[in-house]
Chains A and B, each alone.
Chain A
């Protein structure tokens, strides 16, 4: 990229360029005018020379007429004509001269000694036989011609323009001319005058342009500097030219306003940043404290969970165990009474064995759930974790009339989680949801577990929807505080731990209201 000249220099250069072009135009105009003037002057002189030559011929004609009338003889007439013309001068001492058709000089006022001599062979400095050309022109009827001839004043050769007219009765031709040097001299004078005027005009223009350029480029330069400082976030300066009434003043005022606005804005921004930073530190401190608490209370929570689960387990195990006892004792009594039907006994014993298996399956499920091991992240199908958690939560719940609906798409990607920890999170949320709905009529004791690909495709979004009283918006953060509880007997560490566990997996845990009443607990888990 070509480095562009700075803005003020650019304006000055352009202004000067404009002035120079204007001056050039003036010069060309002057040259044309001078040339026209010279042509005009020459034309004027040609006219004058022709008139004068004509008058001279008339003068000779008059003397000839007197001779023809017999007033004077021919020699006197010729002498009168010659002598009259000899003393006649015009302009810068220009004179008339007469030669005859043979090229012999009749009248030459500046060199009378040459009169009577044959001048036909004379040549000028360019080698022209100008007398012969004059005579030939006269013989042809007369006209204008130029040649060189010594000036009468300086005796130096100069370009001369002459008009020739023949006077046939005496075989003469009369002529007069001017030196073109004189024209050129006059033109030169006019040229000098014009140059003088031009110089003055150029000078005035130059001064004006300089003044205008300075009045623009200087404040522009200052404004450029000001804008530069603005862009470097330096606001500690005054914007000059603010009080000018012209466009520069407008720009200066705009720059000043930009300065003020930006300074205030940045001050606000700094304040905001400072506040955000303070808030962040506060939040992190709080979070760190919360995490500490979370870790400290995780064990408690686990024990609480275990206690609650043990109660549920006792209920659930009671069913198959009681059934086993019934089958057995029923069989024993029949055997004792001797009323045993072999087939019926066999069926009863098989049923008893089935119930024993049912009991051991429950124990195995619980043992797997409670197994304490180091957290290990492994890719697992979410459906498996959901199944484990819901089957344990469902213990005893069916008997209270609650149902848990599960909607986990089969094509959901596996998640990378610790099976036990996330299982406990889900168990906690399910238990919370079920407890929240204990006051509901049986038809509305319904929990829905959903799983979807999150908007951020790196995560899976799990939702636990209940139809309980819901959680007021004001409490939606408070429920995650350690020891927050809405339950009379609860310890309140559950949700706090849940959030810590989910966050330790890189996910999030939050609450949304259920549009038809109740709460939706959402959490995200990373896709494996």
Chain B
């Protein structure tokens, strides 16, 4: 599934952050039963100390902890530009907390005691999302790399093609011969590894979206 272009930095890991040792340990036991790699952290601070920007996997964090709470941890990760899918675990009746969790954009919210099937399914979902995220990130990086190989003239020609101009119009705009436009155009299609104009348009949109999203 993984894109071959993405470098494998870290194994996909489920990070469990909870101050209650017994609960933490039991959760590790449960998640390991589903053949996931699990790392346990006793506090949000411990996790922050261990986390890296290129982490892969997801986060299960208790909403109430001494020191940083689960939601505060989520904020902190966001500030650091780490976009790890997060499941917030709450005790009984913490409805306002749950609302807050959703508002902050946490992926999910589960209540203690945990329904094992539900939790594991949400973990799978999170991991899938993370994978997708990382795939997109990887693809963007590839496309960017390909774009970078284009010459300035080729880039101008591509922008015109994507904008739907005909070769003759492009020749007029850029004040070059149609023959030259055709040469540049075939070089662009080759460098960007596409065969149709439609594909070129899609790629250009994806890269543009990634740029707009501040990637």
Contacts and interface: CB of A to CB of B under 8 A. Distances in A.
A323 B26 contact: yes
Interface string A324-336: 1111011101100
A399 B22 contact: no
A397 to B, nearest CB: 10
Interface in B29-72: 29-34, 64-67
B23 A319 contact: yes
Kindly name the residue among B22, B27, B116 whose own CB sees the greatest number of chain A CB atoms within 10 A. B22
B116 to A, nearest CB: 4
Given A318-B112, A319-B20, A322-B23, A327 B92 contact: no
Contacts of A401: 66-67
B contact residues, range: 20 to 34
A518 B93 CA distance: 30
Q: Classify the interface of chain B: helix, strand, loop or mixed.
A: loop
Contacts of A354: 22
B91 interface: yes
A269 to B, nearest CB: 62
Q: Classify the interface of chain A: helix, strand, loop or mixed.
A: helix
A358 B23 CA distance: 12
Interface residues of A, number: 31
Nearest to A337: B33
Contacts of A358: 22
B66 A352 contact: no
Nearest to B32: A330
Contacts of B29: 326-327, 330-331, 348, 351
A331 B29 CA distance: 8
B172 interface: no
Nearest to A334: B33
A322 B114 contact: yes
A333 B116 contact: yes
A320 B23 CA distance: 7
Interface string A143-158: 0000000000000000
A315 B113 contact: no
A355 interface: yes
A314 interface: yes
Contacts of B31: 330
B156 interface: no
A299 interface: no
Contacts of B27: 323, 326
A170 B100 CA distance: 176
A333 B34 CA distance: 8
A442 interface: yes
Contact of A325 (B25, B33, B65, B116): B116
B23 A323 contact: yes
Given A326-B29, A330-B29, A318 B91 contact: yes
Nearest to B62: A399
Contact of A442 (B25, B67, B93, B114): B67
A355 B112 CA distance: 15
B30 A330 contact: yes
Contacts of B159: none
A319 B22 contact: yes
Kindly name the residue among A326, A327, A352 whose own CB sees the greatest number of chain B CB atoms within 10 A. A326
Contacts of B92: 314-315, 318
A447 to B, nearest CB: 15
A353 to B, nearest CB: 11
Contacts of A329: 30, 33, 116
Given A325-B113, A330-B32, A337-B33, A355 B67 contact: no
A167 B137 CA distance: 190
Contacts of A315: 91-92
B19 interface: yes
Interface of B: 19-20, 22-23, 25-27, 29-34, 64-67, 91-93, 112-114, 116
5 contacts: A318-B91, A325-B113, A329-B33, A330-B29, A351-B29
A-B interface, 3 closest residue pairs, ranked by CB to CB distance from nearest: A326-B26, A329-B116, A322-B113
